[in-house]
């Protein structure tokens, strides 16, 4: 009797001290704000899968801390993102935020900056986003990173006259800007730039206009989730058989949509940061595990979530579990590791991702279309930050 009373008393004291089970101090919360519903729900789904796969493979304890992932749906409405980030900071006491699409990442930035919350940008591809908070660190990509490289490739391979079709929002504007700069500098001419509404896009009139201008090359940026509809309308207008060369950043051959595009995109060349066909042992493991977990192919969005979790885990290990934003971001700066996409690092000056950009051609492999890499540009920085150093 006496010893069991003693045991109960000891448990009571220990749990009172927070030693009996994981206490608030032992738990590190990560609040990720992404679209799980609405037109960009596919983006949220891939980020969620990437983050959860990382945790399934690496456990939920780092440097003695229990990791708790909280996913919040902003339906890609920036005001929602701001409110949700505020609630995550004030009510849930998150130590880290994860940011998604550009407009939401922009609206969350003041909260990250003023609240001093280390935030991993897992989706946005717009250069300026990382400059909006000193605690923003990116694991996704920038459109500029890919668009200059594909312009140079096109010119080298005979392109002279291009038309650009761009999704009408910040990442589209940057893709078009960097493409046009490189294309013109190398002696090419951009005949016209056509801007397609972001929501519920109908590509047909823009594709017709582009065809009427008789370019030799079509440069296209549409965001994740729109490659499938774009490919369908491209084929419906017969443009896949017109002899016009279709090029772009990796988004137009998104591995999420590519398997459903049949022969339409065969031969299309893009400059991208990730292909599920990337031939490394780590990527083969990643693609297999991802397929098992989700039932579909891993895409370039998913690695932003997977690598985002790695960055948080590695930073916590380096700080010994300390979550102070200044210490964490200092730990993240300069960090380098192998991602399923290849070697990546965090530029210590800009907190932006440095990564390989691959030239890939869509080919049929084992009966399905894949973006097969054939040339590598190593360690590419965001060119817009290199052009105007801050």
In the complex, the residues that contact ligand PHB under the rule CB under 6 A are 101-102, 123-126, 171, 223-224, 251
The backbone torsions φ and ψ at residue 53, rounded to the nearest 5 degrees and listed phi first, read -65, -40
Nearest to ligand PHB of 173, 184 (CB atom): 173
- Min dist. Cβ of residue 85 to ligand PHB (A): 16
Look up tokens 């990250």; give the residue.
112
Q: How far is CA 45 from CA 31, 139, 174, in A?
A: 15, 17, 25
Give the nearest distance from C-beta 48 to ligand PHB in angstroms.
15
Q: What is the DSSP string of 133-197?
A: -TTEEE-S--HHHHHHHHHHHHHHTT--EEEEEEESSHHHHHHHHHHHHHHHHTT-EEEEEEEE-
Q: Closer CB to ligand PHB, residue 215 or residue 251?
A: 251
Residue found by looking up tokens 């013109």 in the block: 184
Count of H-run helices and E-run strands, the chain: 12, 15
In this structure, the strands spanning 245-249 and 217-221 are parallel
126 vs 283 by CB, closer to ligand PHB: 126
Contact 252, 285 (CB under 8 A): no
**DSSP assigned state of 248:** E
Select 172 or 215, whichever has its Cβ closest to ligand PHB.
172
Residues 217 and 231: their CA atoms lie apart, in Å, by 16
User: Closest distance between ligand PHB and the C-beta of residue 102, in Å?
Assistant: 4
Closest CB 16 distance from ligand PHB, rounded Å: 46
Least CB distance to ligand PHB at residue 365 (A): 23
CB of 31 to ligand PHB, least distance (A): 18
What is the nearest approach in angstroms of ligand PHB to the Cβ of residue 275?
14
Give the nearest distance from C-beta 38 to ligand PHB in angstroms.
Answer: 13
Q: DSSP states of 69-100 as a string? A: EEEEE-TT-HHHHHHHHHHHHHTS--SEEEE-
Report the nearest approach of ligand PHB to the CB of residue 61 (Å): 31
User: How far is 15 from 23, CA to CA, in rounded Å?
Assistant: 9
Residue 42 or 309: which CB sits closer to ligand PHB? 42
Q: Which is nearer to ligand PHB, 78 or 321 (CB)?
A: 78
Residue 124 or 145 with smaller CB distance to ligand PHB: 124
Long-range contacts: 263-267, Cβ < 8 Å, 24+? 263/364, 263/369, 264/231, 264/232, 264/234, 264/235, 264/240, 265/231, 265/240, 265/362, 265/369, 266/362, 266/363, 266/364, 266/369, 267/361, 267/362
Q: Which is nearer to ligand PHB, 125 or 215 (CB)?
A: 125
For ligand PHB, the closer CB: 101 or 276:
101
């Amino acid at each position: 009797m006496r010893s069991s009373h003693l045991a109960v008393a000891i448990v009571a004291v220990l749990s009172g001290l927070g030693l009996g089970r994981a206490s608030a101090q032992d738990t590190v919360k990560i609040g990720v704000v992404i679209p799980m519903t609405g037109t960009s729900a596919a983006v949220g789904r891939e980020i969620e899968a990437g983050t959860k796969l990382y945790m399934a493979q690496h456990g939920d304890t780092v440097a003695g801390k229990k990791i708790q992932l909280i996913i919040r749906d902003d339906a890609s409405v920036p005001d929602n993102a701001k409110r949700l980030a505020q609630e995550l900071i004030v009510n849930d006491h998150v130590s880290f935020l994860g940011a998604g699409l550009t407009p939401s990442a922009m609206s969350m930035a003041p909260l990250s900056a003023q609240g001093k919350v280390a935030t991993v940008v897992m989706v946005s591809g717009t250069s300026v986003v990382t400059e909006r908070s000193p605690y923003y660190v990116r694991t996704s990509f920038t459109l500029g990173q890919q668009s200059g490289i594909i312009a140079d490739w096109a010119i080298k391979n005979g392109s002279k006259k291009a038309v650009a079709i761009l999704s009408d929002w910040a990442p589209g504007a940057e893709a078009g800007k960097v493409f046009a700069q490189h294309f013109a500098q190398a002696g090419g001419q951009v005949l016209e730039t056509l801007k397609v509404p972001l929501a519920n896009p109908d590509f047909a009139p823009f594709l017709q206009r582009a065809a009427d201008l008789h370019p030799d090359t079509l440069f296209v940026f549409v965001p994740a989730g729109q490659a499938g509809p774009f490919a369908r309308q491209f084929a419906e207008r017969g443009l896949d058989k017109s002899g016009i060369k279709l090029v772009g950043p990796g988004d137009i051959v998104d591995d999420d949509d590519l398997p459903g595009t049949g022969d339409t995109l065969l031969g299309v060349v893009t400059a991208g940061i990730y292909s599920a066909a990337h031939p490394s042992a780590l990527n083969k493991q990643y693609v297999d595990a991802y397929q098992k977990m989700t039932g579909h192919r891993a895409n370039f969005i998913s690695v932003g979530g997977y690598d985002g979790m790695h960055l948080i885990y590695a930073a916590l290990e380096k700080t010994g579990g300390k979550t102070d934003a200044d210490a964490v971001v200092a730990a993240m700066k300069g960090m380098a590791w192998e991602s399923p996409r290849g070697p990546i690092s965090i530029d210590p000056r800009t907190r932006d991702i440095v990564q390989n950009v691959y030239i890939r051609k869509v080919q049929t492999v084992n009966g399905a279309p894949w973006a097969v890499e054939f040339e590598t540009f190593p360690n590419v920085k965001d060119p817009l930050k290199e052009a105007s150093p801050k």
